[in-house]
Amino acid sequence: MLKRHALSDELWKRFEPLCSGKAGDPGRTAADNRLFVEGVIFVLKTGISWTDLPE
């Protein structure tokens, strides 16, 4: 079951190469780009503040 504000696997496969912080990029590797992007989508859709994001 897809969470309401989650990206589908198909959409994530298209979006992932555009994210910085992936393995092979210079600098630190991101812990979880998908979680970050879904957090941004959640904030934009719900209007809550960053501090109120669920874990």
> 1-55 pLDDT, tens per residue?
347 778 899 999 998 888 887 777 777 778 888 988 888 888 888 899 988 887 7
Distances in whole angstroms, Cα of residue 30 to Cα of each of 3, 37, 48, 54: 22, 12, 24, 19
DSSP 24: T
CB 15 within 8 A of CB 37: yes
The sign of the dihedral angle between the CA atoms of 52, 43, 50, 3 is positive
The pLDDT of residue 2 is 46
Place of tokens 């600098």: 27
pTM of the predicted protein model: 0.72
The pLDDT of residue 1 is 34
DSSP 18: G
The pLDDT of residue 25 is 78
